[in-house]
Every structure is written in C-alpha cells, then in structure tokens.
Amino acid sequence: MKNHLAIVTCFLSFWSLGQTMQLVADRIFDGEGMKEDISIVVEGNRIIYAGPSDEMRIGVDTIVRFENSTLLPGMIEGHSHVLLYPYDQTSWNDQVLKESRSLRAIRGSKMATRNLMAGFTTIRDLGSEGAGYADVGIKRSIAQGIIDGPRMLVAGKAMVATGSYGPKGFHPDFEVPLGAETADGNDVISVTRDQIGKGADFIKVYADYRWGPNGESLPTFSLEELKLIVQTARSSGRDVAAHANSPEAMRRAIMAGVVTIEHGTEATEEILQLMKDRDVGLCPTLAATESIMKYRGWKKGVDEDPGSIVLKKRMFQNALDIGVKIIAGGDVGVFEHGDNVLELELMVEYGMNPLDVLKSVTSVNARTFQLNELGAIKKGFLADIIAVEGDPSTDISNLRNVVFVMKDGVVYRDVRL
C-alpha cells in the first residue's frame, strides 16, 4: 500500500510540471456520441487536442493506453447530499438530531472522496440537511487540496416554508433543529441573499413536502414566494432547484422559473409538457425511491413493485415520450456514496437509451448547471476525464469499472499503477 501511494504521489507531482499526456482507448464518448480512433491530449488542466489519432500533430511527453476501455468526460452527479448516508444505517431524523456538525462534516468529506473515485468529478450537492454550511467547508477543503474530492456546487442550508419540514413528532414546545432553513413571505428574499452570501452556488427550495392531512405531498410556498426566490437568486447569477412531487407544486416552481425539478413523482403529462416547453430539467432520483422501498423491506425482483415505483416508472416513461430534459441525479446519500451509477442503471432499466443516459450525466448536466467548460471532451475544455473498462453504451453497468480518474488535469485514480 505504501509503495502504491508513493508511485501515485510521484505521478501527481510529475503532472504538476505541465507536461503533455496523450490518452488513447478503444473508444471515446465525447459528451455527445461514441467515437473510435480518437486521441486526447492534456496539458496542465486543459484538453489541448481531441480528434482523430492519425491527424494529431502534437509532440507528447507521455502516452497512456487503456485496453478494452472507454474514455469519457468526468461524470456530473446532479443530486447528491455528502452530509447524508443511507437511512438503513441511521435514520434521517437521527442524522439531523443526534450527530454533531463536526462528525457530519468529517464523514461528509470522506463521502465526497468516494464520489470522485467513482468517476464523478463534479457533484451538485442539494442541501446540508441540518448541517448548516458544512457543505461550503467541504467544497473549500477540496479546492484547497486538504482532501481529495469532486468539484462541488453546493446549496447550503436549503429553504423550506414554516411548518412543512422535519424532523417532526415532538412536543410542540420543543424546538428541534430542522433539516433546512425556514422562510415565508417577503423574508424569502433576505434568506436567499443570506444563503448566497454564505456560499450557496444554488438555491434549493422545497416547493412541496409530505405535510398533507394524510401525509401526502402538497405545495408549501406560493407562486409569489417562489418567484421572489428565483428573481433574487437570478439577480446574483444563481439558479434555483425545486424539490417537488405533486403536480401543483411542480407547476408553481416551473412558472416561477426554477431550472430543475427534483423527484417529480406525481407529474402529469400536462406538467411534463410544461417542463418541456419551458426547458426545465427533471431530476427523477429513481435510485432514492428504490432504496427507500428496500429499507422498508421491498425485495426487488421478488415482491411486486410498490405504488411509488409504479408511479415513478410511468412518470419517467411519459417524460421520455414527451422529450423532457432529463438530469442524471440519484439523491446519493440516501444510498451509498460511490454507488452513484445505480441511478444511471435504473434510468436504462426504466426505458432510457444508454447513450442518452451518458449524455445526461455529462453534457446535459453541465449545460443545465452552467458548467461551460465541463461535460465534454473538447479542445479548450477542462481536463476532467475518466476511463472505464468495457463499453457503457452497450452495458451501462460498465460505468462501475472505473480505472482512471483525472480532475482538472490531476490524476486521482489509475488502477494500472
């Protein structure tokens, strides 16, 4: 182990010299399609060539060949929570109520590393779930090189309407810490600004929550409140992502101008059409739904699909038929960090073409999150590049066989060493 680390360190410092490296594999997914006989050349943290190998006229210092492999842009996780871990290990309530912020931050930093090693060089982390701005701290620790991790877009505390969010079920006189920050009426403006000031790259709002009389998902914020949040965030160059499962909450969030809807379980065809018309992304978090059902005892392939999965499959198929922009994001944290590919496998299982899934987790996510130099293997783009064994366009699970991870021109994983 020690020797292995020494070689990696040596390799990394070699890279800091800014030499050129040529990457060659059987095939390359460049963010749009699968290509053969393509070479990539990286210098420093940039891709300086991506094109036919036989037309390359650049002298390189090193050539790295991957056998039976595919090169791809670093994957982009659309919906993560590094400050959460699977609820079958510790319930969400107990994570929020019983674990100190320092413990959560230290665990979260390890979880961030797992995302990177699984080939996800960027993650959009949608809320610290009661851990304040620990996500901002983790992001900065990565940027400063204190820990290894992906690029992070963070939401900070996230925003909920008073009375809607958990943890719940306590004596009414007992104030418990919540999983997000409350705001109502015009106060949503100051809370949005405060979250931005404290490091939020995205504003995450809960446009509905399970606070109906029978625990059903029903809208929380009014259309006017959502509009104020979006206008305030947009003014600072930031976008808003909305948690929404019920059609009315989705409609309000779409009309207010959010960039993505998270979950979307009960979306009607009319709502999906509205998303298509307004170019709003759907992040379906299929893996979270399946994982929660498994924690409740559902045995996939043995038991019948529970209602929430039947609903999700139908909604997802409708979204594909209508042509809604699909964001790849599993709500990882609800299930194991590092197992992010589970969402991509379920997208294929629920009817999406593997090549479209590859686009979703690279170029579509990049464009939607305004990451203009990521998500594609293209001259001038940042050198976030991974290699996996096999061809993920024929079997998406090959994305689990990560053999190489480069972020910003630095190699973090290379199983050949």
> Minimum distance from CB of 189 to Zn ion (Å)?
24
Nearer to Zn ion, 335 or 350 (CB): 335
Using alpha carbons, list the distances in angstroms from residue 68 to 24, 53, 387, 390.
Answer: 11, 17, 10, 6
Task: Please report how close the Cβ of residue 135 comes to Zn ion at its closest, in angstroms.
Answer: 12
Residue 375 contacts by C-beta under 8 Å, 6 or more apart in sequence? Answer: 31, 73, 76, 362, 363, 364, 365, 366, 367
Residue (331 or 343) nearer to Zn ion, CB: 331
Supply the minimum distance, in Å, between the C-beta of residue 288 and Zn ion.
Answer: 7
Provide, rounded to whole angstroms, the least separation between the CB of residue 178 and Zn ion.
Answer: 15
Q: Are 83 and 129 in contact (CB under 8 A)?
A: yes
266 versus 331: smaller Cβ distance to Zn ion: 331
**Both tokens assigned to 321:** 């038929």
Count, residues near Zn ion per rule CB under 5 A = 1
**Pick 331 or 384: Cβ nearer Zn ion:** 331
- The least CB distance from residue 404 to Zn ion, in Å, is 29
306 in Cβ contact with 298 (< 8 Å):
yes
Nearer to Zn ion, 47 or 244 (CB): 244
CB of 354 to Zn ion, least distance (A): 25
Handedness of CA 169, 171, 177, 183 (dihedral sign): positive
Cβ 158 to Zn ion, closest distance in Å?
Answer: 9
Q: 17 exposed, middle or buried (CB, 10 Å; 0-12, 13-18, 19+)?
A: exposed
CA angle (207, 82, 232) in 5-degree steps: 40
Q: Which residue's CB is nearer to Zn ion, number 49 or number 335?
A: 335
Q: Which is nearer to Zn ion, 49 or 206 (by Cβ)?
A: 206
Distance (Å, rounded) from C-alpha 239 to C-alpha 237?
A: 7
Exactly one of 331, 339, 384, 389 binds Zn ion (CB under 5 A); that residue is 331
C-alpha span between 308 and 217 (Å, rounded) = 12
- Pick the stretch among 2-10, 324-332, 352-360, 367-375 that binds Zn ion (CB under 5 A): 324-332
Is the CB of residue 154 less than 8 Å from the CB of residue 84? no
Q: Does residue 343 interact with Zn ion by CB under 5 A?
A: no
Residue nearest to Zn ion (CB): 331
Q: Which residues bind Zn ion (CB under 5 A)?
A: 331
